[in-house]
Amino acid sequence: MKTILSASLIAVLAFSCAGAAAQNNAGSTANAGASAEAKAKAKRGPIFRASKEQIKQAQAMLKQRGYYSGAETGKLDEDTRAGLKKYQEAESIKATGTLNRATLEKMSIALSDKQRMM
C-alpha cells in the first residue's frame, strides 16, 4: 500500500514538473519572438517618401515614354505603380513600383535635402 502511494506521489510530482517546464519554455519562446520583433522595429530608420511634385514629374516622364496614360496627379495610384514597375524593369532597377531613391535618380528627378541625407 505504501509503495503504491509513494509511486503515485512520485508520478504526480514528475508530471507537474514536466508541465511547469513546458509552460516556462513556451513563455520564453514567445518573449524571444516579441523581443526580436521589437528590435527589428527599433532598428528601422526613416522611410524614404517621394514628394507630390516628384511624383508628378515621374508621371510626366512615364507618360512620355508610354508606361503611363493617366493624369499627372501627384498620387502614387495603382496605374502609376504599374507604370513605375515597367520603367524599373526596362531600366534594370529592382521593380518595386515605388518612387525610391534609385528610381528618382535614374529619372534625373532632384532629391530634397532630407532625401539626400537618408
pLDDT tens-digit profile of 64-111? 999 999 999 999 999 999 999 999 999 999 999 999 999 999 999 999
Residue 116 scores a pLDDT above 70: yes
What is the DSSP code string of 61-110? HHHHTTS--S---S---HHHHHHHHHHHHHTTS---SS--HHHHHHTTPP
Structural domain of 76? 52-117
Half-sphere exposure of 13 (CA within 13 A, CB side): 6
Q: What is the tally of structural domains in the chain?
A: 2
Do 110 and 59 fall into the same domain? yes
State pLDDT tens for residues 19-63.
555 565 555 555 555 566 666 666 888 899 999 999 999 999 999
State pLDDT tens for residues 3-15.
665 666 576 656 6
Burial (CB count within 10 angstroms: exposed 0-12, middle 13-18, buried 19+), residue 97: middle
Do 65 and 93 fall into the same domain? yes
